[in-house]
A and B are shown apart, each in its own frame.
Chain A
Amino acid sequence: MPVTSQHGPMSPTTALITALVLTSLIVPQILTAADAISASTRQAADDVVSLLGSGDADLRAVALDAIRHGLKGDWATRMVADQLASLPPSRQAALLLALADRGDAAALPAAAQVAASASSAEVRAAAVQLIGRLGGPADVAVLVTSLSADGPQRDAARRGLVEIAGPDAAAAIRAAAATGSPATRAAVIDALAERRDRAALPVLVQAAADGDAAVRQAAMRALARFGGPNEIPAMVQSLLKASGDEQRAAELAIASVCTAARNAGPSTDVLIDRYQAADEPSRSKLLPALARVGGPKVMVIVDAMLADPARRPQGLEALSKWPDATVKDRLLDLLGKADDPQEKDLLLGTLIRIAPLPDNKLNDREKLDLLVKTMALCERTEDKARILERANAIRTIETFRFVVPYLDDPALAEPACRSVVELAHHQKLRDANKDEFTKALDRVLGITTNEELRERVARYKAGQTWDRKKKN
């Protein structure tokens, strides 16, 4: 074919020069990575695209496997991602998940488009999942927006905000915690907590003072996980603002920081300082948190209250929230001297709660001794019943022997049955004392009409186990 130009035919030399000039101008621009791909690999990519559209699930699986593990290169990722729009929803979701496994960020623009526009919740969730796994700071906004969606898309966005990698992405998430609806901000804060993003502590401190309770509570949950002494003042302020369930959750969050192995002492010192500096109404709100922390320094404060008749009820209330059994002698002493029925109830309830706590403050024998002593001080049947039910947390044959005689007491037989059966649940204990357990379990069968207990007895006697029903 003769070489021509708009001005007429060219000489061969001119044509060659023109071609070289054009080549030098154009080729560098079009010689992309895709042009370096062999014809064979292009054929493989075409085949994969063709198989994606197949009506045969097996062949589609072959294509998805090739997408996961083969056809390296972002050109292939884009080529495959471009097929998303032409596929039905269930296949879109499968392709998005395969692209997520492939791990190439070149799929992100297509996934973002699907996340924003797909009508199927399953597809949007898969797109969000891909974005969470492969995305960067620019994709945080899509994930945050998806927090407002329903069901799987929201769950995928939550996971994505935890998984999305890189310091810039973390910074974008921190920034997102300050904007948007309270529910979204709370979810973003939960993600920061899950990421254990210590750089987010200033954001969390600010959120702990937020005007919205959901945001405050999310911030307190996060601070409970990795806050320290520096965050205690903000947590105290948040507690002072709270009431009801939020107040109790805030107390537990503060106690969590002050009892965590790291920085427990310094955090407790800050909490005590804040308590000492507070006015009386604030102290009343802080005292339960302080009591939940426990320890000798807090005990000094509580002892001073107990010695002051005007503040004695507060001191007793604090003792009732003590986190371990180190106060047992003090409680027994106070109980022995108590006249007021309400005071007695409080002290007894506390003793029953703390005696079997699995905190290694007491060994099993000491725990049982404490329960036996407490039982001797009980007058009301319901208190005795509570002791029998708490006893099964101490898994020893001595506990079993303490409980069994109460099978003869008609008023306490049912809680005793429950405890005997609970202790029998532990096969090592049961097998080591088989005769005693068999006799007691037979007696339980003669007492209880509770179907679940009877089924458990039958299984334990037959040497079988019993699957505890999961609590909702």
Chain B
Amino acid sequence: MAYDHIPLDDEFKALAAFDWGADAAPLAKLDAAVIACHGDAALTADLERRFGEIVTGKASRAAKEYACRKLSMIGTAASVPVLAPRLADPAESHMARFALERIPVPAAGDAIRNALGSVSGDLAIGMISSLANRRDAASVKPLAALLGGDAKLAAAAAVALGRIATPDAAAALAAAKPQAGPVADAVIDARLACADAFLAAGDREAASTIYRSVAATVGDAPKTHRSRAVRVAAQSGLLACLDDTVAP
């Protein structure tokens, strides 16, 4: 279908001037265009460019967030240079990351991973969370490096490694030596998550190795509610690994 971008000029002007509380009706055509562009490379590229201009321009935060949401749906590698510089800005980091997390090109993951090295605190936890959501195997090393540091980052990194759930991620978690507390709990949970993922993928041996190792950490007579729950999870997992009458 041929695409004529001129009819959307008024809508993009309205978006550039849009702010929270204003009439959102003019944006309905943009919503429709984002849906209509599926399979239409020309329309997609044009919309991506114009939403990118909103993000880099002087539009309100409301307009930029709207544009980021649309880029999360239609963004390509072309949007990465637009969004990546915003990851370190506390005001724009969240929505830029929201878009990058969903753009299915390696460059988007690279951008988030690179930003992880340059931000701290909640912004860093956000990057870790997005890398986990992308199941970004290339992030195992930088995430593993965080396991021995700041407790909040270490716990977030452990959770992320559990979601990435590659053999490298499982190995990094097994090698971690956190002190008892939230980080150690997060590492145990993440190891169980890795084991569940291995079992679901049919690798019963790798899964059972982890379940057995986790069960050993709580011993035969766990005293806390949490350690009892860990033992139940590990024991259930071990039985499931042995039982090949049931598909993983």
Binding site for B on A (CB under 8 A): 37-38, 40-41, 43-44, 47-48, 51, 58-59, 61-62, 65-66, 69-73, 76
Contacts and interface: CB of A to CB of B under 8 A. Distances in A.
Nearest to B229: A58
A442 to B, nearest CB: 46
B244 to A, nearest CB: 5
Contacts of A41: 242-245
Given A58-B228, A58-B231, A38 B236 contact: no
Nearest 5 CB-CB pairings of A with B: A44-B242, A72-B245, A44-B243, A62-B235, A70-B243
Contacts of A73: 245
Most buried by A among B240, B242, B246: B242
A44 B238 CA distance: 8
B243 A66 contact: yes
B17 interface: no
A59 B242 CA distance: 16
Contact of A62 (B232, B244, B246): B232
Given A37-B245, A41-B245, A70 B231 contact: no
Interface residues of B, number: 14
B239 interface: yes
A58 B236 contact: no
B235 A43 contact: no
Interface of B: 204, 228, 231-232, 235-236, 238-240, 242-246
Nearest to A44: B242
B245 A66 contact: no
> Could you tell me the dominant secondary structure of chain A's interface residues?
helix
B239 A72 contact: no
Contacts of A51: 235
Contacts, number: 48
A54 to B, nearest CB: 10
Contacts of B232: 58-59, 61-62
14 contacts: A37-B245, A40-B204, A41-B245, A44-B239, A44-B243, A48-B239, A51-B235, A58-B228, A62-B235, A62-B236, A66-B236, A66-B243, A72-B245, A73-B245
Contacts of B235: 51, 59, 62
B242 A65 contact: no
Contacts of B243: 40-41, 44, 66, 70-71
A40 B243 CA distance: 6
A62 B239 contact: yes
Contacts of A47: 238-239, 242
Nearest to B220: A56
A37 B231 CA distance: 27
A38 B244 contact: yes
A66 B240 CA distance: 8
A72 B235 CA distance: 18
A40 B244 contact: yes
Contacts of B228: 58
B36 to A, nearest CB: 46
Contacts of A43: 242
Given A44-B239, A70-B245, A71-B245, 15 more contacts: A40-B204, A41-B242, A41-B243, A44-B242, A47-B242, A48-B239, A59-B232, A62-B235, A65-B236, A66-B239, A70-B243, A71-B243, A72-B246, A73-B245, A76-B245
Nearest to B240: A70
A384 to B, nearest CB: 62
Nearest to B234: A62
Nearest to B235: A62
A76 B245 CA distance: 10
Nearest to A45: B243
A65 B246 CA distance: 13
A51 B239 CA distance: 11
Contacts of A70: 239-240, 243, 245-246
